Structure 1
Amino acid sequence: MAYYSPESILTDSQKAPCTFELGVPGLSPLNNGSAIEKGTKLDLPLWMAEMLAVSKPAGPSSASLASLDMPSALGQRVMNALKADPKSVDVRAQAQWFYGLGERMLELFEEEEMVDVLLDSFKQRALEIADKAQNTRNVQKGGDNDFMGGLDEAERQLFRAAHDGSSAVRKWFDNSSRS
């Protein structure tokens, strides 16, 4: 995570499921005031779930406080849908920072297949994003709302950059042809 990057902070604030391996009574505020016992499952911000997963209690126990599980946004159902047709998946509905979440989870889990699926999906979707960005006149109105609604934040930034770059080239070409 980049220290001052808002994108990294927002990515790490997305929820990730974790299962407590030990009872931790001092963390009851995380569980609506109920005691956290062994086996308790909670969706916590990724940064916190990661810290609990790598934390070891004092003493002879070698177990971590909690185990971190793969978020449903990156589950097998979503991976299968991305394999079938990446352009049809509303990744924003899965996670606002979908690819950032994938990147963070891949830092923690060795999932070679997920790497391939996410990379292939981003490439295919980027081609459509570039095409729409060059053929959309007014990005402020949102262009194609259905299209923009399904993009995660990284894809939206890519769309804006491609749209602004295409507009700048058109303006430059128009200005240079008038001279």
Structure 2
Amino acid sequence: MEDDYFSIDAILAENQKVGCRFKVDITDMGHLGGGGERDITKSNTLQLPLWMVYTVVLSDWADMIMPPAFGSKVRNALSAEPCSVRLASLVGAGGLWYGFGRTIMEMLDPRLDDKKKDMSDLLTNTFRKRLYEVIDQAQHFAALGPAGGVGPAGDSAQSFREGLDGTERELFALAQEGSKRMKRWYEEGEKVRR
């Protein structure tokens, strides 16, 4: 994710579980799978935190399995209607879908440039297509004023925000604040002209 050691977002993104299919037998490490097995045997599949997957995959002990958050079902839904997909529910840890995807993309085998490009295109296109809706909704709910958080409009605003990725939520808040400031500036200018 970010190259900052102290970044909470990076820590949360790297704690996501990713499936690994082992290529070799590893003795006395069966506890990683959380079961009662003593050893990891060849072709075992385990869910490991992303920070551990780095070592396992780079040591060529296992192959990473693409997480469901970036599988064909999600890709098809994003291709059909990107704004209808609740990215926050695809990954835990505050819904950091873009950061998790970037980390996964960086871990893909360098010999698989097509897969890296596909992942990059997925993240970029999804962000671009959803950005318009995020800004539009932020300005709409900012225009409702203080009452925007109460009633049916407030419920839809809350529902919309809950489906956003963490990055999108930050942009939503910035756009909403910018819209409120613009409205205040305009209203103050109207008072001066009168």
TM range (shorter): 0.7 to 0.9
Say whether the 8 Å CA contact 2:138–2:173 is kept in structure 1: yes
* Distance across 1 between alignment mates of 2:120 and 2:15: 22
* Distance across 1 between alignment mates of 2:28 and 2:62: 14
Pairing partner for 1:34 from 24, 33, 37:
37
Does residue 146 of the first structure (1) align with residue 145 of the second (2)? Answer: no
Does residue 114 of the first structure (1) align with residue 114 of the second (2)? Answer: no
Q: How big is each residue's C-alpha offset from its partner over 1:1-50, in whole Å with a ceiling of 9 and x where there is no partner?
A: 32111111111111111112222233222122423211111111111112
* Distance across 2 between alignment mates of 1:7 and 1:163: 22
Does residue 87 of the first structure (1) align with residue 87 of the second (2)? Answer: no
Q: Check 1:86–1:47 CA distance in 2 against 1; reply closer, same or farther (3 A cut).
A: same
What percent identity do the matched residue pairs reach?
33
More helix per residue: 2
* Distance across 1 between alignment mates of 2:181 and 2:122: 33
Say whether the 8 Å CA contact 1:16–1:71 is kept in structure 2: yes
Q: Cα distance, 1:147 vs. partner? A: 1.3
Question: Which residue of the partner structure matches residue 130 of structure 2?
Answer: 125
Does residue 136 of the first structure (1) align with residue 135 of the second (2)? Answer: no
Does residue 75 of the first structure (1) align with residue 75 of the second (2)? Answer: no
Count of residues in correspondence between the two structures = 171
Does residue 2 of the first structure (1) align with residue 4 of the second (2)? Answer: yes
TM-score, normalised with respect to structure 1 = 0.85
CA RMSD of aligned residues (A): 2.0
Amino acid in structure 1 at the alignment position of 2:69: A
Structure 2 unaligned runs (5+)? none
Structure 1 unaligned runs (5+)? 56-63
Amino acid in structure 1 at the alignment position of 2:133: E
Q: 2:141 is paired with a residue of what secondary structure?
A: coil
Question: Which residue of the partner structure matches residue 59 of structure 1?
Answer: none
